[in-house]
Structure 1
Amino acid sequence: MTRMLLRQVIHDDLGCASYLVGDAGAGVAAVVDPRYDVGEYLSLARFLGVRIAHVLETHTHADHVSGHGRLAAATGATIHIHRLAQARFEHVPFDDGWELELGELRVRALHTPGHRPEHTAFTLHDVGRADEPWAVLTGDSLFVGDVARPDLAIEKRDGARGIFRSLHERLLTLPDMTEVWPGHLGGSMCGGPGMDLKVASTIGYERRHNARLQERDEERWVEQAVAGLGPQPPNFEAIVALNNGPLLAGGAELPPLEPHEVERRAGAGALVVDVRTDVQFDDAHIPGAVSIPIQHAGFGTKLAWVLAPDQPLVLVGRDDDDAEHAAALALAVGVRRFDGRLAGGMTTWRADGMPVARIERVAAERLPERRASDPELQVLDVRERSEWEAGRLPGSLHAPYHELRELPEAIDPRRPVAAICASGQRSGVAASLLARLGVREVVHVVRGGVGTLERAGVPLER
């Protein structure tokens, strides 16, 4: 009895989507684009009564570490990736048109270069019912509401031309009813601002309503594609090297550290990252620590932005579980050098009477009043340049939060600085970095940002 199987597994912190596909009736399955934490695939496979016999990669990922090595170690599965990837791990390469039989499910390779030269989508066929595909796993090519970025492997215009042709000559030739299951959802750095949080779509719907598919002139499309590129994912070259090199199977060793040892490690150059909520951090934190809460999406990406290459990392949470969770998210973006965790979390630090620092919080709607009462207050907008150019507070300064490795020249550390973004999340990271860089008085703008003030009637500069 045929039972088509397609389960989507989402890594919410990075906006990555992976898939367990197969034939439950035949008891065989494959995982496509696995994340580093492979436990959910193993649990799903046991629950559904299937054996994971294959691992398929759409491409060599640049934003997260693949779990192909861990899955192969756990299941004995064979790893497959396009020949052009020139992978340096044990695998069986394939070319365009290659097919894999999983019971009555046929997986067919559809080479779609552009995001990377080896990039391949996979069409899914229920051979017991029809030869035409019922779904396509598009990886980093076509997303729901957007398309992939072209600048993570080759010259960006060459990459954009490849994506344009892969879209119009390959993917959009599939039947309208073909389901589209992408490799990323909204929030991922592998696409643009149009990427939707919806988990799936169809070829026909995207052809009609995806704004990125309406321009049919290749050169105009290429110029539009490269003009709107955001910052590249942090340490993406290192992640590519990990994914293309020897198979990784290990986890994170996160030894417990007593407060005085955390203090010593910080003094020796380790980065102390506090993963609690920004409210808890602002109320009391280890002096010099950086705030990156695990409660919001993007922890791993933010961490990769602020952690220097080869810099040791110490994690601080409410408790040990917080730190362990943060370590798993860090591993997903290739961060592997851990000095340890504050044993028992911040409660231990406070119980030992260790020094704490605090950061002032001001609601976005109260910022104009705060500026009026303190002419010395400097306002630093920490959003991306495209956001800054679209509208900013008069008299504010600009530096994206991920560029605060040193204090901007325009900032006077002897005067108070208010960090503002769009929501209060990026400004929280920035406020902690400003304090770490020696600003005497830091203000964290919370509960909104520049857009909040514009809606309240504050005029913006453009």
Structure 2
Amino acid sequence: MIFRQVIHDDLGCASYLVGDENAGVAAVVDPRFEIDEYLELARYMGVSIEHILETHNHADHVSGHGRLASATGATIHVHRDAEPDYDHEPFDDGWELQVGCVKIRALHTPGHRPEHTAFALIDTRRGPEPWAVLSGDTLFVGDVARPDLAIEKSEGARGIFRSLHDKILGLEDDVEVWPGHLGGSMCGGPGMDMKVSSTIGYERKHNPILAIRDEDEFVEQALAKLGEQPPNFQAIVALNRGPLLTDGVEMLPLAPRQVEQHRAEGALLVDVRTDLQFDEAHIPGAVCIPRHIAGFGSKLAWIADREKPIVFIGRDDDDAREAGRLALAVGMRRLAGYLHGGMTSWRQERRPVDRVERMEVADLARRQSGDDPVQILDVRTQSEYAACHIPGSVLTTYHDIEGIPDGIDPTRAIAVICASGQRAAVAASLLGRYGATDVIHVVDGGVPAWSRAGHPTEQERAVAAT
């Protein structure tokens, strides 16, 4: 039997190739948009990919089912409630697919979405019982899926509770759990682990929300910890349900003059280098979203208008092209190109650059206690702000910045702070894009470091600036 997990690190998504080496056949479950790894694995193992299975219409990333079907001729299978607008074979609860020695059994598990289906895996050469379940977006390692991406959230939470207790937790304790997402994904809650797998027995014993046997209490707990919904999730679902996407998007190399033209015409310039490189020198008006930090695609989807062109600026061409591939994974397809030669080519032509001052938390504290305090913009979430924030700071979550926030004077110094410095990097660049003249990027620790150092904090419910 063949079993391989393929992880998209930026989005925290997991997909699977399962099959039978002796029979020479395989299936891919929940393929990501970049399909090269599946094709390489299939060639290496000497199998033909004949089936593509989807657990559901994904809301956080673009599926590769169209590209993989085009490349292999495989049949796409999805639950009939998905109602996609492409050729497929619908299935119902209990449907089974034989792939050589591997039997794949559909377990309809609505809640995250009405069509959601987990897949039990049976190695018929070893025994008749499931040895693993591909739990998709129902059960994760340490948590369960979010219920608010398709139907009313309370109804979704009740669906997840029933799916867990009627289907998933009915499996034996030694059945392995291989989820559709790992920690960092926006399709689950804060309890999601970075581990790639678990077992039914371990999750039953150690996953706290599974210990809740009362449905009403489960719903209350599931809704209490809901985070922000994935950006553009309706548009991504529409792409995944619509006609098959089989093509990528050509990324054109652009000379500095062409980048300048695109900027003048309203394109979003996204600098994907490190925040340190960006702060030292960047193209005026560019936004800082470092590619090397997990979550690039989600941050881009929050900041960018998917109907307007995007130009990437990297350390070099490969850096920018990889950013383009990550952009496609979240449905961004208006990609105008990338600065050929990276930021070096811009500097070689002596074109203008802007800079952002960097400041550590200790220096911010000293400045606030002196005669020249700065405005502090906190760009974390409202729940983080409510738990602990710097007195007098203004809250606007980084991806909600669409101008100079209320309560902030763009002509005075603005210190932008988060929990680590990563979100603050994006927010500081957005303030510069919208006309702030003196922006300070607070690095290395943010509000938690401020609190640990004993500086004054407040803990109260706050109203976000708009």
Q: TM-score, normalised by structure 1?
A: 0.98
Out of 216, 231, 234, the position equivalent to 2:231 is: 234
Specify the code of the residue in structure 2 equivalent to 1:404.
I
1:197 aligns with 2:224: no
1:114 aligns with 2:111: yes
Out of 381, 384, 387, the position equivalent to 1:387 is: 384
Out of 199, 207, 211, the position equivalent to 1:210 is: 207
1:295 aligns with 2:292: yes
1:166 aligns with 2:163: yes
Specify the code of the residue in structure 2 equivalent to 1:336.
R
Out of 402, 408, 415, the position equivalent to 1:418 is: 415
Residue of structure 2 in register with 1:30 after alignment? 27
Q: CA offsets, 1:261-282, max 9 Å, x none?
A: 2112112110000000000000
**CA apart distance, 1:195:** 0.3
Q: Supply the distance in 1 between the matched residues of 2:308 and 2:371 (Cα, whole angstroms).
A: 38
Residue of structure 2 in register with 1:308 after alignment? 305
Q: CA offsets, 1:36-63, max 9 Å, x none?
A: 0000111111111111110000000000
Q: Supply the distance in 2 between the matched residues of 1:460 and 1:253 (Cα, whole angstroms).
A: 49
Out of 397, 402, 406, the position equivalent to 1:400 is: 397
Q: Supply the distance in 1 between the matched residues of 2:91 and 2:116 (Cα, whole angstroms).
A: 12
Q: Supply the distance in 2 between the matched residues of 1:374 and 1:5 (Cα, whole angstroms).
A: 67
Between 101-110 and 223-232, report the one with greater CA deviation: 223-232
Q: CA offsets, 1:130-177, max 9 Å, x none?
A: 111100000000000000000000111110100011111110110000
Q: Residues 42-441 of structure 1 correspond to what in structure 2 (within 5 A)?
A: 42-373=39-370, 375-441=372-438
Q: Supply the distance in 2 between the matched residues of 1:400 and 1:52 (Cα, whole angstroms).
A: 44
Contact between 2:367 and 2:373, CA under 8 Å: does it hold in 1? no
Q: TM-score, normalised by structure 2?
A: 0.97
Q: Supply the distance in 2 between the matched residues of 1:100 and 1:358 (Cα, whole angstroms).
A: 58
Contact between 2:13 and 2:180, CA under 8 Å: does it hold in 1? yes
Two-structure CA RMSD over aligned residues (Å) = 1.0
Residue of structure 1 in register with 2:463 after alignment? none
Q: CA offsets, 1:221-253, max 9 Å, x none?
A: 112211221111111111001000111111121
Q: Supply the distance in 2 between the matched residues of 1:184 and 1:154 (Cα, whole angstroms).
A: 20
Q: Supply the distance in 1 between the matched residues of 2:80 and 2:363 (Cα, whole angstroms).
A: 57
Specify the code of the residue in structure 1 equivalent to 2:308.
Q
What secondary structure does 2:219 align onto?
Answer: helix
What secondary structure does 2:187 align onto?
Answer: coil
What secondary structure does 2:353 align onto?
Answer: coil
Contact between 2:280 and 2:355, CA under 8 Å: does it hold in 1? yes
Q: CA offsets, 1:107-148, max 9 Å, x none?
A: 000000000000000000011221111000000000000000
Out of 8, 11, 20, the position equivalent to 1:11 is: 8
Unaligned stretches of 5+ residues in structure 1:
none
Q: Supply the distance in 1 between the matched residues of 2:24 and 2:457 (Cα, whole angstroms).
A: 60
Contact between 1:381 and 1:419, CA under 8 Å: does it hold in 2? yes
Q: CA offsets, 1:10-43, max 9 Å, x none?
A: 0000000000111122211100000000001111
Q: Supply the distance in 2 between the matched residues of 1:428 and 1:94 (Cα, whole angstroms).
A: 46
Q: Supply the distance in 2 between the matched residues of 1:335 and 1:179 (Cα, whole angstroms).
A: 35
**CA apart distance, 1:87:** 0.9
Q: Supply the distance in 1 between the matched residues of 2:80 and 2:107 (Cα, whole angstroms).
A: 13
Contact between 1:181 and 1:199, CA under 8 Å: does it hold in 2? yes
What secondary structure does 1:52 align onto?
Answer: strand
Contact between 1:376 and 1:415, CA under 8 Å: does it hold in 2? no
Q: CA offsets, 1:253-312, max 9 Å, x none?
A: 111221122112112110000000000000000000000011100000000000024111
**CA apart distance, 1:319:** 1.1
Q: How many residues align?
A: 459
Change (3 A) 1:420 1:252: same
Contact between 2:272 and 2:290, CA under 8 Å: does it hold in 1? yes
Q: CA offsets, 1:156-213, max 9 Å, x none?
A: 1110100011111110110000000000000000001100000000001001100111
**CA apart distance, 1:460:** 2.1
Residue of structure 1 in register with 2:462 after alignment? none
Contact between 2:68 and 2:74, CA under 8 Å: does it hold in 1? yes
Contact between 2:306 and 2:332, CA under 8 Å: does it hold in 1? no
Specify the code of the residue in structure 1 equivalent to 2:40.
S
Q: Supply the distance in 2 between the matched residues of 1:165 and 1:380 (Cα, whole angstroms).
A: 43
**CA apart distance, 1:376:** 4.1
Contact between 1:35 and 1:66, CA under 8 Å: does it hold in 2? yes
What secondary structure does 2:269 align onto?
Answer: strand
Specify the code of the residue in structure 1 equivalent to 2:363.
R
Contact between 1:57 and 1:81, CA under 8 Å: does it hold in 2? yes
Specify the code of the residue in structure 1 equivalent to 2:400.
E
Q: Supply the distance in 2 between the matched residues of 1:370 and 1:199 (Cα, whole angstroms).
A: 44
Change (3 A) 1:376 1:365: closer
Q: Supply the distance in 2 between the matched residues of 1:458 and 1:141 (Cα, whole angstroms).
A: 42
Q: Supply the distance in 2 between the matched residues of 1:294 and 1:157 (Cα, whole angstroms).
A: 36
What secondary structure does 1:380 align onto?
Answer: strand
